[in-house]
A and B are shown apart, each in its own frame.
Chain A
């Protein structure tokens, strides 16, 4: 499936170094520990995980904001990982981004016209008038209009600012847009407006999205496939509906169960089935083994010794969990998991 992929990530490693006393490279910390992901043209991959899972590090590596410390990021014919962070302009223009915080992602001293046309100024030789025409066109795509061109970001609400950020990301007609928590800073009533907008533009313009978010339910609405990250590892990947409705990996399951639902009665039942848990110690785990083993109710001795490889799951996709080692359809362990 990696042959026709637009973006294909293999064994990606992202490492951050602390600083020692004299300013030299200190202790290394692997934020991403060998991730595999793939996105086809015009499709959306939702990348879900909690804080510290490494999902934003993958986004930053794809965008060339941090260098990869190993592995490949194939985008079309080029390996982005090999270029470190110095992408040639034609590649740069094809990968754009929308960030989480619409209050700091727009330059406060620029007008909307400056912000939306900045990619055109950097990458094209369009005249001012041509850029303005294109800017009006782009604002139309995000349901804003020409009258907004001269305004500054602070004159807009959070939802409108995010529309401006999307218009700017669309300016160069990119093939891939990395959406890093695009709606989590917005009000509930505005979130869906932005999700709907992203969905419509994707189908219209044939853009692929890498959607980073912490909320599986939200990601499920718009993604074709979903990948779940935990402590730098991708623990599960598969078609959106399968991951959301029939999560395989114990962590994905825990993640879904922890999200409160809008039904007080259901919440009561869920509460009854668990009792107040003490705070967990920060896991200080040996390098080998499953990253989730100390929280996993199904942990086995071998989970300590060996990192589980990706096993295929019924309904599509993979889970990095020994419970799925048995041939599809026969796993008694999996039955146990489903019953739990």
Chain B
């Protein structure tokens, strides 16, 4: 099975980084709160102004004053002192119970997740039995066996909370052990324990850390609950839980009693969650480093000045279905700038014509298809240009009108048919649904048309196959269904994004033939996005080669393969596996495709080009009339076609 690197730009890191720097101050505050908590727990006797147990019934239920900063409780005890001593209980409670939960839950979860088999079966049945009983009952049963008291209550809570660690650890290990790096580690000969602890654990740490912080909060609350029913901290000792239960009894008389322990619990839990997030981001996969800055960065201010020039626009064609002019798509960066992913892209497709959009990952070819449909992710913006479909500029249409256009006038076929079809519904119902929603067909008419369409895309026994679920079909069959669905509304433009890349080569040939056949019958224009120049040679009438977010060459298919004019096109052609018939060294293009944001300032291919001259440092316009090329030396270079 072939896969191709996805074209999606690395938009996430920059957003994440901005979030991280913004929250730095909050992290410092959270750290300070936790440090204070530990300090108070250690030195409660020295810090607290009064003995937390000393009663003064005359001065009970007082409001805050200079003598008692947080007032006094029902027995006249100083609330501040009790709060400070409560820190000690909080630290012990959270520490003990969470540690016990982790020590029991994580190792067992890791083991049964990795080992599987009857170990897994037995342990999971026990865990399910435990979690099916209300937690507090389990705790009471354990306490009935152990006896009451803070430490015993925390052991009970630890056992109770270990089940959530166990299930989480098992779940993430189940997913992780299928990763290729685990296979690599097994091939190297690493033992099971080494793989589990050295390879898998660091990668599954983030969810476990989050679970830890959630557990600390839950333990603090559970301690309050257990103390409230008299199974945890025994009166008169001060814990935040016992203080809260006292406050509950005096809610009507003196509501303020609930405030200090409440705020203490909220602040502690919040701080731990924030610190947990920071630790999680610092471990394993959480590390997200912004795009490399070591390559030359184009001056984007200068780039914005390059207005779509008249020369760059493709000449008007007869029967134009789609015309895109000066399209520019950007992503917001950490420093508030706009990083272009596609710049100054113009193209047009006529009725019954197939235009190939060819390029490697990061070239922006897939993004172009999505931008035409208005389906780019929220982080991206189409800032310039017009997208005229059948005479209307889609960029000026309101959202509801665009949704009507999608599916009616333009449809899309994606790379992986098994994921672009909904696994929960039969394939026939997915096509019929479109027909009923967009064409208003009756249920039976929609079904009849569905079977007809499935028959049309060359699937034997269409009536029977319409009732199949996507996973019951082979990749080639599923892609035929996806094509049938795209055709159901008779679109004037079909955007096909690597529709044969996930298929075997003999099936690919069938699907390409099907596209051609259907185009002859329905007359739609096809925008065919592919990384494979040989596929483009088969299916396309014209080909537009993209590199680093812009078009570098556009030509009729015969002309392009006979005499490529851009050095990148030539390089791509000669690097194709079928281009040369010899032993290595095979021809290569040095370096790799630069990421958005690391594009050279002038010609974006200049750092990999063998024909670079000083003039390539400037921005190069797309020139030509019939065939377009973005190379300043296009006229003087004679590039041979591959072979």
Contact = CB atoms under 8 A, between A and B. Distances in A.
A123 B506 contact: no
A129 interface: no
A294 interface: no
Given A192-B588, A276-B510, A109 B283 contact: yes
Given A189-B592, A281-B460, A123 B573 contact: no
A190 B188 contact: no
A189 B360 contact: yes
A111 to B, nearest CB: 11
A267 B5 contact: no
B576 interface: yes
A300 interface: no
Contact of A105 (B4, B180, B186, B457): B180
Given A276-B510, A279-B460, A51 B504 contact: yes
Given A65-B186, A191-B577, A264-B561, A199 B585 contact: yes
Contact of B537 (A189, A267, A276): A267
B6 to A, nearest CB: 10
A221 B506 contact: no
B575 interface: yes
A258 B589 CA distance: 27
A195 B184 contact: no
Interface stretch (B25-33, B312-320, B473-481, B613-621): B473-481
Nearest to B573: A262
A96 B561 CA distance: 40
B38 to A, nearest CB: 29
A262 B183 CA distance: 36
Interface stretch (A31-39, A132-140, A211-219): A211-219
A145 interface: no
Given A215-B577, A259-B578, A262-B573, A199 B583 contact: yes
A196 B513 contact: no
B356 to A, nearest CB: 11
A258 B506 CA distance: 5
Interface in A141-196: 152, 154-155, 157-160, 165, 168, 181, 184-193, 195-196
B611 interface: no
Interface in A77-118: 87, 89, 92-93, 95-97, 99-101, 103-110, 118
Interface residues of A, number: 79
A20 interface: no
A161 to B, nearest CB: 11
A63 B592 contact: no
B582 interface: yes
B2 A184 contact: yes
B424 interface: no
Given A105-B181, A217-B578, A262-B537, A158 B199 contact: no
A260 interface: yes
B3 A101 contact: yes
Contact of A107 (B203, B513, B532): B203
B185 A222 contact: no
B292 interface: yes
Given A192-B575, A276-B517, A278-B460, A187 B531 contact: yes
Interface string B171-185: 000000001110111
Which of B188, B458, B532 counts the most chain A CB atoms within 10 A? B188
Contact of B538 (A50, A97, A187, A271): A271
Contacts of B512: 260
B561 A263 contact: yes
A213 to B, nearest CB: 9
A108 B203 contact: yes
B508 interface: yes
Contacts of B510: 276-277, 279
Nearest to B286: A109
A23 interface: yes
B584 A199 contact: yes
A195 B584 CA distance: 8
B278 to A, nearest CB: 17
Contacts of A277: 458, 510, 513
Contacts of A104: 179-181
B468 to A, nearest CB: 11
A42 to B, nearest CB: 15
B504 A214 contact: yes
A165 B184 contact: yes
A168 B184 contact: yes
A38 B458 CA distance: 41
B529 to A, nearest CB: 15
B194 interface: yes
B1 interface: yes
Contacts of A100: 3, 180
B413 to A, nearest CB: 15
A255 interface: yes
A328 interface: no
A274 interface: yes
A204 interface: no
A50 to B, nearest CB: 4
Contacts of B535: 260
Interface string B559-583: 0010000000001110111111011
B188 A119 contact: yes
Interface in B443-495: 457-460, 474-477, 480
A152 to B, nearest CB: 6
A249 to B, nearest CB: 14
A122 B190 contact: yes
Contacts of A103: 5
A4 interface: no
A277 B480 CA distance: 12
A261 interface: yes
Given A188-B572, A264-B557, A118 B586 contact: no
A92 B514 CA distance: 48
A157 B10 CA distance: 12
B440 interface: no
A150 B423 CA distance: 43
B377 interface: no
Contact of B589 (A89, A189, A221, A271): A189
Contact of A262 (B514, B576, B583): B576
Interface in B237-295: 283-285, 287-289, 292
A327 B186 CA distance: 47
B287 A187 contact: no
Nearest to B202: A109
A155 B598 CA distance: 14
B480 A279 contact: yes
A263 B558 CA distance: 8
B509 interface: yes
A274 B512 CA distance: 12
A95 B589 CA distance: 31
| Max chain A Cβ within 10 angstroms of own Cβ: one of B121, B514, B585 | B585
Contact of A23 (B3, B121, B457, B578): B121
A261 B537 contact: yes
A282 interface: yes
A209 B548 CA distance: 35
A314 interface: no
Nearest to A244: B581
B642 interface: yes
14 contacts: A50-B505, A92-B187, A101-B180, A109-B283, A157-B593, A158-B592, A168-B188, A187-B592, A189-B592, A195-B584, A259-B578, A260-B509, A277-B510, A278-B459
Given A97-B187, A158-B5, 9 more contacts: A154-B289, A158-B592, A189-B572, A195-B586, A221-B580, A221-B586, A258-B506, A260-B512, A279-B459
Interface of B: 1-5, 121, 179-181, 183-190, 194, 199, 202-203, 283-285, 287-289, 292, 360-361, 457-460, 474-477, 480, 504-506, 508-510, 512-514, 516-517, 531-535, 537-538, 557-558, 561, 571-573, 575-580, 582-590, 592-593, 642-643
| Chain A to chain B: the 9 pairs with minimum beta-carbon distance, closest first | A109-B284, A92-B189, A109-B202, A260-B534, A199-B584, A50-B504, A189-B589, A278-B458, A105-B180
